[in-house]
Chain A
Amino acid sequence: MFEAAFLGLAKVFQLGNFFCLVIGVIFGIVIGALPGLTATMGLALLIPFTFTMTPAMGLIMLGGIYVGAMYGDAIPAVLINTPGTPAAIATTFDGFPLAQKGMAQHGLVAAALASAYGSLLANIVLATSAPPLAEASLKFGPPEYFWLGIFGLTIIATLAVGSLVKGLLAGALGLLLSTIGIAPIGGDIRLTFGYTELQGGVELIVALIGFFCLPEILSSFIAKRQATYSAEKIIPRFSVVREVIISLLKMPVLMLRSSAIGTIIGIAPGAGGNIASLVSYNEAVRWDKNPKEFGKGTIKGVAASEAANSAMAPGSYGMRPGHELFSTHATTTFAFIMSMLLAAGLVTVIGSFGSFLYPRILNIPARHLAPGIIFMTILGSYSIRNNILDVWIMFLFGVIGFISNKLKFHPAPIVLGLILGPYVEEGLVQSVLCGRAGGSILAYMFLRPISLVLIALCILSALWPLYASWRSKGKIGEKIL
């Protein structure tokens, strides 16, 4: 195995392959940073170009794009409260408050380093133990997806600002939104109100742009009509990179936990980086000594989210290793894995240097910046399905997001419900069908080993806010209502 790994590494360092890796990472960062264009779309765009390449060169380039995009999505998340891809949703929770405090560079450097760390760790795990991990992933069935979704929903306790009931209500609204379109099982057409375009459901990225970006443009640019976005001119400093590195070194447990969460969730087929980043963020808040720092601008929140969403990327390739993958094609396979390891290193370098450039975007006069962002939100919403209805939905969600922010009804749990709804629904309905066929729905849903672990986690997670209130000697009712 080590020989194949070494040969794979040597292959990546061949001039043409390395050039493709650099191009892939840069292209991935750009794609990830553009709201509306996801890493998967970037891969789809470049796949035709790889047809003329050798298998190793093509895979190296695609690996670079994916790793680059997993970092690139943090740039708009930190700067303008808009996740470049759904995987960066949790990055906005602390990244954007950092930018509002004039510390955008801190957020961007933390995102780059945490992304690289998560990717590095996950690739090492993948390179050393891919076969058993792939086998474990096959044990993930409908009940496990259902419980993973329910576990994800317990994150509402963290995301709910002020009132848990309002957070749950927002989550329920998100779940309802997720049911729009054709039912995943059964094929019923639901809540489309005659719009055939809605049969595909509400696009997640459209909801993200609407709920996160447009309200920010309305409240920061248009409501105030100030000359620049931030009151003080942002001047990036070299010392910030050192400061962030030292800070991240002081949180090894958070980094390791976040990367592990990303790796585990990445192995589950179909589970996305958005779930990985949300679960990781939630655990970072839960286990931190000062949980109240989160949501107000701390690099811990950015690191937790970015390490997890980058760590899930290697597993998400769905490499199902048959004997040939690590025997006949071992060099190519390892070249791919090594390319992602090196891409992680490139993200560190490009991200650290880029942190001197990206925050300066906020120094652009508001009259140029605001229309540019509005224009991008519209292009981003439209280009997903080439559908003007998506732009209208984005606009509607933007207005709702603005109003709900004003009413202290934060839309983050709505988006969480929208993300997790399909997992919960498919898991529930498939479990009912499989359980009925097997003789007992309850046994099928509750007695499988991974389900039992997830059920225990759900109970612990749901009860945690009560424990946290008791620990801080606060009144439990205040947070709940």
Chain B
Amino acid sequence: MDWSIYMIQGIHGLVYGMLMFLVASGLTLVLGMMGVLNVTHAAFYMLGAYLAYTLTAYLGSFWLSLLGAPIIVAALAVFIERFLLRKTYRGGHQLQLLLTFGLFFIVGELMRVIWGTAPLTVPVPRLFSGEVSVAGMSYPVYRLFILGFSFLVLIVVALILSRTRIGIIIRAAVGDPDMVDALGTNIPLVFSGVFAGGAVLAALSGVIAAPFLSVYSGMGLDALMDCFVVIVIGGFGSLLGAFIASLMLGQLHSFGVLWIPKLAVVFQFLLMAVVLVVKPTGFFGEKE
């Protein structure tokens, strides 16, 4: 009996950690590739969740919202990159940080105007509404779907970056944008694409999180906090670091709630502080 509680908590931590990683991966990609710490990312995630609510209600299908929400959010991201963020590339990182910070508050408040502040629930899709027996206890299938879907998305992203021509161009553009530009690649387009790609990852995680965590107006800030801690621990711009950090935080969260519920929030910050003392750049971060 005791053993199966740990098992369930372990799986629960894995689900939460993978979801956290899916959110953080988009942020890490944009940070690593474009050098922009995109605070608006958390608003994209929240927008994904709210769109899941509305699209599911109107179209009657969760799966259509999983398709539609990322498209809408990506369109918004391209607009922001093309008309606002692009003006700040010459001005340095602080300007980009200030801009995305301001946009985070604008987009967040616009969502409060549209959807109000009361929490909303998104029904779990029928296909995954059941429960399975894990280690003698029943466990919601939808959470296992989150786990599987996150893995799938991340494998696709990793394959695109490492195996395709687009991936090669993106990685080259990070190393030396001027050179790639001179070789005939449309660099502004690549940047728009990467920014939109990060937004798609945020929206996808927002949609799949909606039936699990419910939709509320503080979810953007909560995700932002988790992402920041993940990035600090994992190392700036490192996907592998973010992966390990998210899984660690997932377990910490899950078992923290089990053992010392009141101090569960404190643990992740303690872990962050310890990592910062031992290795200021995080697990896999390079200097600066």
Do A and B interact with each other, yes or no?
A: no
Listed in ascending order, the chain B residues whose CB lies under 8 Å from chain A are: none
